[in-house]
Amino acid sequence: MDEFKEKTEIIDETDKTCNSESESIILNDLPEKDIPKVTEEDKLGSILSTDPESTSDVIDCKELESTTGDTDKENEEWLDILGSGQLKKKVITPGEKDSRPERYHVCVIDLEGTLQDGTIVDKEEGFKFQLGDAEVIQGLDLAVPLMDHGEVAYIFVGPRFGYGSIGRPPDIPPNAEITYRVHLISSEPEPSVESLPALERKKIGNKKRERGNWWYTRDEHNFAIQCYRRALDFLDDIEGGIIVEPDKEESKPNEDELQDLLEDRLKVYNNLAAAQMKIKAYDTALASVQNVLRCQPKNVKALFRKGKILAAKGDTEAAIPVLRLASQLEPESKVIHQELARLVKQKKKDSEMEKNLYRKMFGQDKIEDSESTNAASKVNELDSSSVKKVEIS
């Protein structure tokens, strides 16, 4: 989903002073009698004999003033939301005053988004999304809270707050500027999570998880983490539980539905750990995989990620047995084998370096060298005595 872009030409403000002033003539040095008198006929003749080109210059300049004025007026109608020109809003039809949506409100909008060449790349009617939850591009998340119910507006979104340098193949190219025509139909507060049926919680939670996956594939890991955390709010049945009203006992979740919630929750924790690893938040990533392993001690993805996290934290010795277990559970995985082999090699290298360091610290290298020398001399002495014995016999 995304939105409608109208191309706006901004003409730089030009110098509005187009009529050149007459050059002042200093006549103080001339006698008064030598000062020529300018008659009315001379003035009229001067006007009539004016170069046609200079007259046209004055006309053109006035036209430019008019054009520039219109452009300035048009620019004033656009609200530059962040002051950078990358996100702007222009009201087409005002809405109900003081009815703007707030963060986490569920909004319903109609929208149409176009590129600069007029190509429509997004068109939605009755599109529902949760404000501030990264369910839409950042430009819309920032601009829609500035709209009133019933308002229709153009929202210009530059690449920074749209699809960036990646675009959205095949229809949105990299670094695209998009203008959206947005109609805010309604907005309402987020429903209480505990009051939602298990199936509804599963639906919303998985929608947020999938959106997190979309951000993850675009290397927008902070947005991915935001979506995964919000997904857990709907898929977690521990904090607050699931409240069932007395007259709706039939909607109480059964064991299978609760198991489904658990399975989906563990998927989110695994994905959350992967995103946290990308931003090198290793402690929180470790906590995420531990949440998975508490319920599923043999979850291969969680074991593999735990091994990589421990290795990244410098605990190679603890990482190796974790990866060995993952390798045993999934022996055909080349990725696990490669990571395990790398860590084993690294551990061996670290052990050698540690031994050499201790030798240098305690002078063991010199002792070993002297012991080797003494042993060699003893061998030589034995060889000499053996030779003598042979000669004697």
Collapsing DSSP to helix, strand or coil, 223 comes out as helix
Q: What's the pLDDT score for residue 371?
A: 55
Q: What is the pLDDT of residues 305-340, one digit of tens each?
A: 999 999 999 999 999 999 999 999 999 999 999 999
pLDDT at 367 over 70: no
- pLDDT given for residue 237 in this prediction: 61
- What is the DSSP pairing of strand 152-157 with strand 87-93? antiparallel
C-alpha–C-alpha distance, residues 159 and 175, integer Å: 5
Query: What mean pLDDT, rounded, does the chain reach?
Result: 79
| Residue 13: pLDDT band with limits 50, 70, 90 | very low
Output the pLDDT for position 376: 54
Q: What does the pLDDT look like over 168-196, one tens digit per residue?
A: 999 999 999 999 999 999 999 998 888 88
220 vs 1: CA distance, rounded Å: 17
pTM tops 0.75 = no
Cα gap 196→201, rounded to integer Å: 6
How many alpha carbons lie under 13 Å from residue 115 in its C-beta half-sphere? 13
124 forms bridges with which residues in the sheet?
111
Could you tell me which residues come within 8 angstroms of residue 103 by beta carbon, excluding any fewer than 6 positions away?
131, 132, 145
